[in-house]
A and B are shown apart, each in its own frame.
Chain A
């Protein structure tokens, strides 16, 4: 469609503002309007002229639960902003990957520094929601010590080889590795 045609622009804009444009055509038209000043001006003109039909429509106060639902949804649909980066899956994956290396280093350093004392140390880091996170643990006492990692809430194929601990616990749940974990 030739959106640049001088007679077509106001007609399409009127169709758009009136609401009679089919959904698919409308979405295509909206994309075109975003980069076409002539079409955008035509849409603005029709919207402002027919706007009084809405202005005289009586106000109706919506119930409070509508806003509560909107709030819940926008918490999940954040617009582009700094916090959006922190909420992204990629951010957590990169964070966990970096954490993994340090976690194993923390356990390995602790094991090396305390030969014969290690039983089943467990290191865990979890997302605030508790839906995702990682666990690393020693399998046996020294001298035959091995490390294993397990990711919470994700398929096995996505488990990384290494993990970092925010907290390292002994059998009696005493945190022992806080000072071994690298500082951020």
Chain B
């Protein structure tokens, strides 16, 4: 990342090789369609190239920073297109399948997160997962859960407060 920030194109290529599969997986999870996910990945990496000098290792890992850029690019793309992919799995099912196949090095962190998510009531937990896993807006969550937007907003706040305490933030 440091070399990429200096304009080293070969280092940028190495960064792409090392991270694009993970980031494309994240983009595909949110967008649901490969062609949109490809566009998102492209936009995200152009943004990464332009903003590489802004990355500060004190503020988190490289992968966390990259994932944040990809997620926001994907969310922007979906909001711009004003369309949602059909056939998203229920977030709890998706999460269970992820956890079942997770690697040992991510297992402990995932279990800690899942324990905290399990402490939430079912509907607020679903709202948090729909937002994070699929990039749904509050309005879209409200439609999906068949509740008023105000209810989604307040339940998200409460859920995040509880998660904050549980995760020790």
Interface string of A84-96 (1 = CB under 8 A from B): 1000000000000
Closest residue to B47 on the A side, CB-wise? A77
Given A10-B164, A47-B68, A70-B46, residue A60 in contact with residue B24 (CB < 8 A): yes
Q: Which of B7, B28, B98, B102 contacts A81 (CB 8 A)?
A: B7
**A63 adjacent to chain B (CB < 8 Å):** yes
Number of interface residues of B (CB under 8 A): 66
Closest residue to B20 on the A side, CB-wise? A62
**A176 adjacent to chain B (CB < 8 Å):** no
Question: B46 touching A45 by the CB < 8 A rule?
Answer: no
Question: B60 touching A48 by the CB < 8 A rule?
Answer: yes
Number of interface residues of A (CB under 8 A): 50
Given A47-B68, A56-B99, A63-B38, residue A20 in contact with residue B46 (CB < 8 A): no
Q: Which of A11-19, A101-109, A112-120, A129-137 contacts B (4 or more CB under 8 A)?
A: A11-19
Question: A78 touching B7 by the CB < 8 A rule?
Answer: yes
Given A10-B164, A44-B60, A58-B25, residue A53 in contact with residue B102 (CB < 8 A): no
For chain B, what secondary structure do more than half of its interface residues adopt (helix, strand, loop), or is it mixed? helix
Q: Which of B48-56, B82-90, B118-126 contacts A (4 or more CB under 8 A)?
A: B48-56
CB contacts between A and B, total, < 8 Å: 152
Please measure, in the bound complex, the distance between the C-alpha atom of A23 and the C-alpha atom of B72, giving whole angstroms.
Answer: 9
Please measure, in the bound complex, the distance between the C-alpha atom of A59 and the C-alpha atom of B54, giving whole angstroms.
Answer: 26
Instruction: Give chain A interface residues in 123-156, CB to chain B under 8 Å.
Output: none
Please measure, in the bound complex, the distance between the C-alpha atom of A84 and the C-alpha atom of B6, giving whole angstroms.
Answer: 11
**B81 adjacent to chain A (CB < 8 Å):** no
**B154 adjacent to chain A (CB < 8 Å):** no
Interface string of B15-58 (1 = CB under 8 A from A): 01000111011101100000001100110011001101110100
Q: Which of A14, A19, A56, A66 contacts B41 (CB 8 A)?
A: A66
**A25 adjacent to chain B (CB < 8 Å):** no
**B79 adjacent to chain A (CB < 8 Å):** yes
Q: Which of B7, B45, B54 contacts A34 (CB 8 A)?
A: B54
**A2 adjacent to chain B (CB < 8 Å):** no
Please measure, in the bound complex, the distance between the C-alpha atom of A49 and the C-alpha atom of B164, giving whole angstroms.
Answer: 9
**A182 adjacent to chain B (CB < 8 Å):** no
Closest residue to A83 on the B side, CB-wise? B7
Please measure, in the bound complex, the distance between the C-alpha atom of A78 and the C-alpha atom of B148, giving whole angstroms.
Answer: 46
List 5 A–B pairs whose Cβ atoms lie within 8 Å, in order of A's numbering.
A10-B169, A19-B132, A46-B169, A57-B22, A70-B46
Closest 5 CB pairs of A and B: A81-B7, A56-B98, A59-B21, A44-B60, A56-B102
